[in-house]
Structure 1
Amino acid sequence: MASFLDQFVVRANVGPRSADPLAAVEPSLRRFLNEADGAACMHSSMPGRSIAALVAGESPRYVLKIGRSDDRPLRNEAEFLKGTAGMGLSFQVPELAYADSAGGHYVVVTHAWRHARLAGMLTRDELLGITEDLATAAPGGGCLVHGDLAPWNVLRTPEGIGVIDWETATFADQPLRDLIHYLVQAGAILRWTDAAAVARELTHPRGLVCELASRLGLARSQADEAVHAYFTSLRPVTVRQVQRFQDEVAAAAGVLPERSGQGCDG
């Protein structure tokens, strides 16, 4: 991985007396590198994955994700980015510029958003708007599930809100999952709210989940079932405080047998 990625990060240091380190790069990738005069790289939490941002002047130009040739999540993201272009989503999705095998790796290139920053705490209307949009975005009005709708995957740009990292996206009959996941992750990882407050949003008749269910024409019992399905499908995590938070929310929501929750009908 390092030797391949180095071809991207040393672009600004190529001089007349230096051998061109980009000679082995696919011609289709060279055009992105030639538009940039600098790059910043980082390792992804995904094993065998690296990320590079190409910069021109003081503005980001492209984001490159470089994975192994068998990187299925990265290939999945590319497929969904191709498809979201025609879905008419109200929020921004990264524009795909390139997705293919290169140098024994699988590479996805997207256009970068200028002046983008983490969105921070979304307003109630913003969160409901994004998740309602997802729940009706698939062909025929079906559900597009982002799969990891979390605060760190939502950005603010001058053109509006953007949602990134579509590696776990899928079409599935789970219209409330992204909203539930966002609320739980915001509390468990970022500690923006406590477990009791998250549980209220998941189960109270005036909570966010019941509000979204109402907008989608779903029964309140379906909202309760979605909350139960979310927690029973969660895999154990190694970070103790995250696991504890999830357990506390599940108990308060009535998912765990030792506690009974109010439920959306309450």
Structure 2
Amino acid sequence: MAQIHPTAAVAPGAVIGQGCVIGPGCVVGPDVVLDDDVELIAHAVIDGHTRLAHGVRVFPFASIGMAPQDLKYRNEPTRCEIGAGTLVREGVTVHRASVGGAGVTTVGANCMLMAASHVAHDCVLGDGVILANNVMLGGHVEVGPGAFIGGGAAVHQTVRVGRLAMVSGMAGVTNDIPPFGYVFGLPARLVGFNRIGLLRRGATRDQLRTLRAVHTVLFKDAGEFAGKLPEVEARFGTEPLVQELLAFVRDPSRRRQLVRPGRMAAPELGGTDEEPGEGS
């Protein structure tokens, strides 16, 4: 059975799974679904048509599923979904979707949203995404699986962040980041690729060298960017990671330009294939 503290307010109609723990001062709205083993530690607010999947943990003063900060919104029955095993730390805000999108704000499984991070309406976060403290995601942002966004970074609305990309702390992201990209600065510039994140997920040294060569061709060599894509495909197109990168770049549904290349701003972010720097 669920454990519900006597000071918690659980509205009639809310669905509470087995093994859930709802701590003191929590508020759960009438359209909320908590799957089994969800824990609301204390003073968390879950509202709207919101579902928290198995094993989600929500820390004090977090707010999930409240109305979006969008003047067009007129209390339409949009949704918010948090994937299994995700950790939502203190003061996090995740808003339900607004109008004009798919109707749902989605956070994937096994994500970690650190203290005071904000996920705006209609965002889509893949599995294993980490948002560090005070990260701000604008509306309709898409973050690929395994991406890491550093503390205090701001991501403009409708930006796409590719799988296993890494955003440095305090970065200002206004353009799309390709898969495995590493961006730094304000405004954010592409300064490399996320070697450590790739290694931790099974990439080989040969794959890293291939990605380094692709990065050089696309973002460092002279010439028109569009004209470099056939060269990359011809030379490296059999590598699945390169295919993923090219598919992201060529996707016609992207609404923003690709992030511009820049120089490394700190030596610890550099390194070589043999001595990779610290990363995600």
TM over 0.5: no
- Which of the pair is proportionally richer in strand? 2
- Looking at both structures, which has the greater relative contact order when contacts are Cα pairs under 8 Å and sequence separation is at least 6? 1
TM-score by structure 1 length? 0.29
TM-score by structure 2 length? 0.28
- Which of the pair is proportionally richer in helix? 1
